[in-house]
Structure 1
Amino acid sequence: MAQGGVVTVQIEHRILGKTGVRVSVIGLGTGAFGFGKLERGVGAGIVRRALELGITYLDTAHYYETELMVGDGIAGERERVFVATKTAKRNRRTAEEDLKLSLKQLGTDYVDLWLMHCVNTIADVDALIAPGGPLDLASEAKRAGQVRFIGMTGHARPNVLAYALERYPLDVVMPALGMIDTLVTGPEHSLLPAVRRLDCGLVAMKVLGNGALAGEHSAAIRHALELGAHTAVVGVQSEAEVEQAAAVGVAPLPLNPDERRRLAALAGRQVARREGCPFWPGDTQVIALEPGWKGGVEMVLPTA
């Protein structure tokens, strides 16, 4: 406990694969307090609290409506944080519009990681790597200093990210890497061997299954770290939730057998309730979210 009753922790850091950058094992997921859920000042306060706690990896996107909050929260601290933002566009012109908007809203002249978002089909990969496409733009932005590293996210088909890794020298991938995903899509078998072989940075998302695994909060996060994630992005909606997540990152020990059984049982009940993966693989336009999420669904922008 620090002066004034402010909770402080010392979070573990890991090297984000071949990027060579040290990042906190807990990343701040801003989507959970985006989409108009919180006022700008409140969101910026959450970002500042995360920095106080040693969280250096910040995940955002302009359509989360949190980039302005992140920009406010990191003012004066830009060099000590790692900012990741995204585009879900599949052509150069609209992807470039996204990048320009993100830089403006974040109040910075570069982002540490630019992620091609929601890459769930082979067609998505092919569109991104096509000559003159978004990844050509990303490479140019990297050479120009607007982007330090390039990556992809995938919500439902880790084999698609594995396919992408064989076709483009991605610096980072961000798959869904929660226990629900272990039970349904098996990224440990279809994606993680390629990640290790290529020394790719590995960022985990959906570790709490959009809140479905909150009953096993610590175990759910540590499961992703145990699989080799360099950072696990955790969605929060308050400073108290940031503190709870940060505490897991102090000493993220492997799960013991009882924790693993409880987490697998909870995840299994969610899979049975949803009759499969909660992020439906066949839908690249809308990602289903748990009913408790305000707004019900996350729109992932047209692919045009």
Structure 2
Amino acid sequence: MRLPMRYRMLDGTGLEVSELCLGSATFGVAPVAEAAIALVHRAIDAGINFIDTANSYGNQSRFDRAGVVAAPHRAWAEEILGTALMGCRDRVVLSSKVGEPVGSTPNSGSWEGGGLTRRHIVGQLETTLRRLGTDHLDIYYAHHPDPKTPVEEWLSTFDDLIRAGKIRHYALSTFTGWQLMESVLSARPRGLRAPACHQTRYSVVDRWVEREVLPASRHGHLSTVVFSPLAGGLLTSSYGSALVGASRWGGPAPSLATEAAVRRCHDLARDWGRPVEELALGWLLARQDVGSLVVGPESSVQLEELVAATEASLSAEELAELDGVTPPPEPFWHGQS
């Protein structure tokens, strides 16, 4: 008999979220809109109560694939998700993000910064709420650090949005360790709410966050939400496809070291008679401070496989073997370059 989905508390929020969080970065592409709506319903039925999106997901050219309608003619991922959540919004913890470019004008967000100005955050939140068909977000992420905007400006903006009832909590995504602590230490003396959690890339073949980011999250009492826990599909049965790794969202190809670590994981999965997804997800769920894993299944079959993968547990010996796949980063010492 299938075990029920397990839930974990996001520190300081009172929110219990499923160990798996449904990501929507490729909604409208894989799966296409109609299939994505069905996927959301299936995820909720499977016990997933945490869904993640962003104002920049879906109809941007970086998500284009052969055989799929071109970006300008696709819906935003938030719009697709809003349709899917009609009648069941209260069953999920819903998060979105702001900061990435969503246009070509000077104040429409940017990879270089400017996406966390008060003007951009407030304006984009109104758009996000309209697309999602809701009056509030449970968690609103600063998608990336913004070197162009004073930290006090966006901290106070998020705090004002909480007071206005538009968001319940705010959070950070892809921040470095020192940027996490800057945010926490800047908020508290000003009487502003601190961020609720931090979302970061992390997997058994990509452990860079263990050097600085995770210790800072722990010190700041921030729960960690992990994206790309399967290394963009490299740690799935889809390995070998052209669209795995960061290439799924327009990123670079994996390094030779990453490819070697991925092959080692697949070898261990074969030797142990386990799906490689069990190894990747189980290793992360055994790590300290991990709250939830954002996964991006492209079909209901893949969703079922991932849900099943969370039901298994790894032995101490298996976890130790996986620890050796990718050496942890060297600890950071004061004065070390």
Question: Which category of TM-score, normalised to the shorter sequence, fits these structures?
Answer: 0.7 to 0.9
Pair 1:161–1:206, CA change in 2 (3 A)? farther
Pairing partner for 1:10 from 4, 25, 28: 4
Pair 1:207–1:193, CA change in 2 (3 A)? same
In 1: Cα distance, 2:324 partner to 2:132 partner: 38
User: Is the Cα–Cα contact under 8 Å of residues 213 and 263 in structure 1 kept in the other structure?
Assistant: no
Could you tell me how far 1:220 is from its partner in structure 2?
1.4
In 1: Cα distance, 2:164 partner to 2:232 partner: 36
Equivalent residue number for residue 223 of structure 2: 201
Equivalent residue number for residue 21 of structure 1: 15
Equivalent residue number for residue 46 of structure 2: 53
Higher helix share: 1
Tell me the secondary structure at the aligned position of residue 202 of structure 2: coil
Tell me the secondary structure at the aligned position of residue 97 of structure 2: strand
> What is the RMSD of the two structures over their aligned residues, measured on CA atoms?
2.5
| Counterpart code for 2:20 | I
In 2: Cα distance, 1:254 partner to 1:164 partner: 36
Could you tell me how far 1:159 is from its partner in structure 2?
4.5
Extract unaligned runs of 5+ from structure 1. Answer: 2-7, 269-304
User: Is the Cα–Cα contact under 8 Å of residues 27 and 233 in structure 1 kept in the other structure?
Assistant: yes
Pair 1:99–1:145, CA change in 2 (3 A)? same
For normalisation by structure 1, the TM-score amounts to: 0.74
Tell me the secondary structure at the aligned position of residue 34 of structure 2: helix
In 1: Cα distance, 2:178 partner to 2:229 partner: 18
For normalisation by structure 2, the TM-score amounts to: 0.67
Pairing partner for 2:155 from 108, 126, 135: 135
**Aligned residues between the structures:** 250
In 1: Cα distance, 2:184 partner to 2:282 partner: 25
Matches within 5 A, 1:135-284: 135-154=155-174, 157-168=176-187, 169-182=194-207, 185=208, 187-214=209-236, 215=266, 216-227=276-287, 228-251=289-312, 253-254=313-314, 256-258=316-318, 261=321, 265=325
Deviates more, 1:93-102 or 1:33-42: 33-42
Structure with the bigger RCO (C-alpha within 8 Å, sep 6+) is 1
Does residue 81 of the first structure (1) align with residue 65 of the second (2)? Answer: no
In 2: Cα distance, 1:39 partner to 1:105 partner: 17
Identity of aligned residues (%): 24
Tell me the secondary structure at the aligned position of residue 68 of structure 1: helix
Does residue 104 of the first structure (1) align with residue 115 of the second (2)? Answer: no
Which of the two has higher C-alpha Rg?
2
Could you tell me how far 1:43 is from its partner in structure 2?
0.8
Deviates more, 1:187-196 or 1:173-182: 187-196
For residues 235-281 of structure 1, give each alpha carbon's deviation from its aligned partner in whole angstroms, at most 9, with x where no partner exists. 11111111111123335x3454345535753x68xxxxxxxxxxxxx
Tell me the secondary structure at the aligned position of residue 95 of structure 1: helix
Pair 1:22–1:128, CA change in 2 (3 A)? farther
Equivalent residue number for residue 271 of structure 2: none
Pairing partner for 1:41 from 31, 34, 39: 34
Extract unaligned runs of 5+ from structure 2. Answer: 59-76, 100-114, 188-193, 237-265, 267-275, 328-337
In 2: Cα distance, 1:18 partner to 1:105 partner: 28
